Amino acid sequence: MKILGIGNALVDVIARLEDESFLNGFSLQKGGMEMIDAPTKRQLHEAMKDMKQTLASGGSTSNTIHGLARLGAETGFIGKVSHDAMGDFFRQDMLNSHITPHLLYSDIDTGIATTLMTPDAERTFATYLGAAATMVPEEISRDVLSQYDYIHVEGYLIFNRELILTVCRMAKECGLRVSMDMASYNIVAQNRDFIRELLHNYVDVIFANEEEARAYTGKEEEEALDVLAEECEVAVVKLGKRGSLVKIDGETTFIPPMDAPCIDTNGAGDIYAAGFLYGLLNNYDAAKSGHIATLLATEMIQTVGAKLSDRQWDKIRKEIL
């Protein structure tokens, strides 16, 4: 089975700072996340040009699709970039990972998620959405969707209601199963009624962490899972270091955590979704799908950044394939 992702196409740029003075020069609050405009993004990266930087294609759905591709699934990705160096990098990174890029193009700069790490390992984020935010419903191709069996949608697209509705409607018309990650508890709290419409009418597989599940249902853990499972065929509530809960066909399964030191949680939820969806694509049961998801997330929290190394993927494939 083949799976397509759609989301914000961003290039992750990670740089290590010698001290906090660089943050102060751009009025960035240490440990925070700020949205920045194009001029600020250009000034920021001009000031960073002599720093050692790590680049990777990013965005929530992109991270999930990368994980699925590394596990061996047939994958594709829809996102919007520019004909600039970062857009070229994004496309090539997809191709290198054996992901079919169905990219749209804008005259606006490719989006960049800049991560600035101080010596104490604290991360400060400056995000420029750029071209990613200009995707419109008219650009979604039925021909592309019809090539796949699943589509995974990131909750951040809820800011563009017409787009996410068009994607979900078209996907169901083409016979795809729809998977969605709730993305952020504040997005859920602000868009509860709209999310209920999506879950009730279109979404087959829903991923939420405990805060997002609480924001949507007003309930805790297993009760929240029950509410989500009334709307979707497959409901997953992630409990962080306490494991996760899955409900499929009326049966609840507890997925135990794995013990590991946590260095960086960036990308852990995205890679968890990759592991679980890989299980669904292969008709594994909830316990096995959840085990793969937890294994991937456990590796991710021991890694700086949102991508695992080739060595880590070799280790994971030996354990599960």
Comparing 77-81, 192-196, 288-292, 296-300, the range with the smallest average pLDDT is 296-300
Mean pLDDT of all residues in 70-97: 96
What pLDDT sits at residue 224?
A: 97
Buried b (16+ CB within 10 A) or exposed e, 79-103: bbbbebebbebbbebbeebebbbbe
Per the domain annotation, does 81 fall within a domain? Answer: yes
* Average model confidence (pLDDT) across the chain: 93
Per the domain annotation, does 221 fall within a domain? Answer: yes
Mean pLDDT of all residues in 150-173: 94
What pLDDT sits at residue 87?
A: 97
Nearest to 292 by CA among 2, 6, 4, 70: 70
Which tokens belong to 128?
Answer: 């420029």
The strands making up 234-238's β-sheet, listed across from edge to edge, are: 99-106, 74-82, 2-6, 150-154, 177-181, 205-209, 234-238, 244-248, 251-255
What's the domain range around 144?
2-9+59-109+130-320
pLDDT tens digits for range 106-153: 999 999 999 898 888 777 889 999 999 999 999 999 999 999 999 999
Comparing 10-19, 89-98, 297-306, the range with the smallest average pLDDT is 297-306
Per the domain annotation, does 202 fall within a domain? Answer: yes
Task: Tell me the CATH number at 233.
Answer: 3.40.1190.20
Q: Are 117 and 123 in contact (CB under 8 A)?
A: yes
What pLDDT sits at residue 140?
A: 96
Per the domain annotation, does 282 fall within a domain? Answer: yes
Which tokens belong to 273?
Answer: 């979704």
pLDDT tens digits for range 186-245: 889 999 999 999 999 999 999 999 999 999 999 999 999 999 999 999 999 999 889 999
Per the domain annotation, does 24 fall within a domain? Answer: no
What pLDDT sits at residue 125?
A: 85
* Domains identified in the chain, total number: 1
Mean pLDDT of all residues in 95-115: 95
What pLDDT sits at residue 319?
A: 86
Per the domain annotation, does 186 fall within a domain? Answer: yes
What pLDDT sits at residue 96?
A: 94
Per the domain annotation, does 154 fall within a domain? Answer: yes
Which tokens belong to 4?
Answer: 């397509």
d(CA 5, CA 180) in angstroms, rounded, equals 10
Give the strand pairing for 33-35 and 74-82.
unpaired
Give 169's pLDDT tier (boundaries 50, 70, 90): very high
Per the domain annotation, does 118 fall within a domain? Answer: no
Q: Are 216 and 182 in contact (CB under 8 A)?
A: yes
| pLDDT for 289 beyond 90 | yes
What pLDDT sits at residue 178?
A: 98
| pLDDT for 307 beyond 90 | no
Mean pLDDT of all residues in 16-41: 88
